A and B are shown apart, each in its own frame.
Chain A
Amino acid sequence: MTQQPSPAQPPRLAAWLVDLFASREQAESILGDLSEEFSDLASRSGIANARRWYRLQSAKTIAHLAGAAFHATPPSLAVALFLGFLLSWFSGALPAQLIIALLRTQRPYSSRHYEAYVWLLAYGIPIVSITQSLLIGCVVALLARGREMVAAIALSLLRAAPLAWLLFIFFGRTPLARPVIPFLGPFLFSRALDLIGIVVGGVIVRKARSASASRLAAV
């Protein structure tokens, strides 16, 4: 008895990303259409071509969905972005304050204490800062119902813009400042992690909402 070959599957990551950016109703029909065209293309011109087509179509689809969400500019999206920006602006110093307050309550009496003290000093602020960004991403995504990813990415870009602009002005116009770049590395890395944290917060809320809607639909 010969085993039937399993049908070709579309690229999972691309499908996952489309699902993130589309509303639940959109995701059902868009992913279905993409799968139908993928199967058709795979049988006509091979799986490699079909996969390439699927990835390109997914990227274009995500761009259109994000663009449409901005174009519609529902009040919830604007409010979510405004509140998210305020929240991240005013709580910016909170991680450092928290860790310093915690360190003040501790005294490195023994060598074990000392190691923990140094570890907290070195990694405490970045960890709390990423957690804070994750929570801000969650809040923004909760407020921007149906447009979670667009809101989280927009807030991330809003927060990155002033820093990118300053770096461009500073390093673009003063070539002598270029040797300073390596020293900015850790700072830029921690900023990048913060921005990723906001987007991950959006992903968490989007996926949780999607799962809860699917459960409700199944009942």
Chain B
Amino acid sequence: MSAREYLGEFEHMVLLAVLRLGDQAYGVTVRREIEARTRREVSIGAIYATLDRLEAKTLVQSRVGDPTPERGGRSKRFFRVTAPGVSAVKHTHRALRSLTEGLALLGVSS
């Protein structure tokens, strides 16, 4: 895997949120998942800009759902992580674990 394929911090968060949500991963749920778990305020635009970039890198795939009335008759766009996406998450985790190894200062036990 080349250095270019390592995930950025926010890409990493978005991919993990999509993995956690499974079949229910779309803009609103991804945003809420990230906010609830990281207490970091994120915008819908940031989520979509990242998801579009990840889709261009074939790390996620999207499909369009049915339109619903509470969305003003607009459809949801569901995302799922692809095999290369899972692989990118694993590589990034491995790299982060390797970098944090032995850093007792941070309270990291690895």
Contacts and interface: CB of A to CB of B under 8 A. Distances in A.
* Main DSSP-derived SS at the A contact region: helix
A68 interface: yes
Contacts of B4: none
Contacts of A115: none
B75 A34 contact: no
A67 B43 CA distance: 14
Identify the interface centre among A33, A35, A63: most chain B CB within 10 Å of its CB. Answer: A33
A32 B72 contact: yes
B11 interface: no
Given A26-B52, A33-B26, A68-B53, A62 B74 contact: no
Q: How large is the interface on B (under 10, 10 to 19, 20 to 34, 35 or more residues)?
A: 20 to 34
Contact of B45 (A35, A36, A39, A60): A60
Interface in B40-87: 43-46, 48-49, 52-53, 64, 67-68, 70-72, 74-77
A33 B27 contact: yes
Contact of A28 (B31, B44, B46, B74): B74
Given A64-B48, A65-B49, A67-B49, A29 B43 contact: no
A32 B46 contact: no
B41 to A, nearest CB: 10
Given A30-B27, A68-B53, A35 B74 contact: yes
A57 interface: yes
B28 interface: yes
A218 to B, nearest CB: 13
Interface of B: 26-28, 31, 43-46, 48-49, 52-53, 64, 67-68, 70-72, 74-77
B71 A32 contact: yes
A29 B74 CA distance: 7
A32 B48 contact: no
Given A35-B72, A68-B53, A29 B48 contact: yes
Identify the interface centre among A26, A29, A63, A67: most chain B CB within 10 Å of its CB. Answer: A29
Nearest to B32: A37
Contacts of A61: 43-45, 48
B74 A60 contact: no
